[in-house]
Amino acid sequence: MTPGTRPDAAGDTDGRRPTADVERFYGRWAGLYDPIARRFPRVRAVREAVADACRLAPGDTVVEMGCGTGANVSYLRERVAPGGRVVGLDVTAPALRRARRRAERRPAPHDGDDVTVAFARADVSDPPVSGPVDAVVGTFVSGMFADAAAVVDGWCDLAADGHVVLADGAPSRRPAARPLNALFRAVTVVSTPPTARLRYERDLLAGLRERVDAAHGRLRERSTATASREFLLGFVRLTGGRVE
Ligand SMILES: C[S@@+](CC[C@H](N)C(=O)[O-])C[C@H]1O[C@@H](n2cnc3c(N)ncnc32)[C@H](O)[C@@H]1O
């Protein structure tokens, strides 16, 4: 598996990268996003469940798409030790810098686990990696793709005979949680790049729900066995699938 083999993995359209808004936004807020990504209520349980759903074994290779500041890396690393490989891909350079620093500062009890951790800057809607990999993970990222099902298709191809695991925030389908959807909308607005088209969708939550449904639905279609869980009153959905 070889990450980052293209000269400009983030791609270029008319002289402007399609991910430019995302990079600017997450680049500016990487410092604030990082503690939220690690300490938000129940987020550790989500990350544990994501890592479990990858069904990893020692020596395996796992690729994380849109790894951000690396909040999942320690969970994944534990599951491929010893001898495995964790590769994090993201377009936002400051987020990747934080992820690298955290991986280098790994505390003593885990020293000697002999796991290779690597990060590369790349557009994960067309990741510059070739398989085989044992698992692909995407957390809080599939709702950002205009054609989320097509992106997930590519991830399933990469993890053929392995697992793909998604966890995403979306409006809750539970009647008891509906009053909280306004709060969820506010969180979604502030955590969406201000210049991105999706922030100005007439119905932001409906658009987000459609993209997350499309991503998770495509994963279910491509999987022979799936696991689904919900967290935070249904505002966070996890789907894991074994793909062929
Ligand atoms: C909400 S953050 C989630 C970060 C991390 N997965 C987590 O769970 O904390 C979304 C991340 O996806 C990245 N991202 C969005 N679109 C991307 C793309 N097309 N290619 C690579 N990374 C992307 C952003 O740079 C950002 O770091």
Instruction: For residue range 117-175, list pLDDT tens digits in order.
Output: 999 999 999 999 987 899 999 999 999 999 999 999 999 999 999 999 999 999 998 99
Residue 4 has pLDDT above 50, yes or no: no
Q: Is 123 in the pocket of ligand 1 (CB under 6 A)?
A: yes
Topology given in CATH for the domain delimited by 20-243 = Rossmann fold (3.40.50)
In whole angstroms, give the CA distance from residue 51 to residue 59: 15
The pTM for the full model equals: 0.90
pLDDT at 187: 82
Environment class of 5 (CB within 10 Å of its CB; exposed 0-12, middle 13-18, buried 19+): exposed
Q: Is 158 in the pocket of ligand 1 (CB under 6 A)?
A: no
- Which one of 129, 141, 191 would you pick to mutate in the ligand 1 pocket, going by the greatest count of ligand atoms within 8 A of its CB? 141
Q: Is 66 in the pocket of ligand 1 (CB under 6 A)?
A: yes
User: What are the sequence ranges of the domains in the chain?
Assistant: 20-243
Q: Could you tell me the sign of the dihedral formed by the alpha carbons of 4, 218, 147, 55, in that order?
A: negative
Q: Give the distance (Å) from ligand 1 centre to CA of residue 191.
A: 11
Q: Is 19 in the pocket of ligand 1 (CB under 6 A)?
A: yes
Instruction: For residue range 234-243, list pLDDT tens digits in order.
Output: 999 999 999 9
| Ligand 1 atom showing the smallest separation from residue 191 Cα | 1
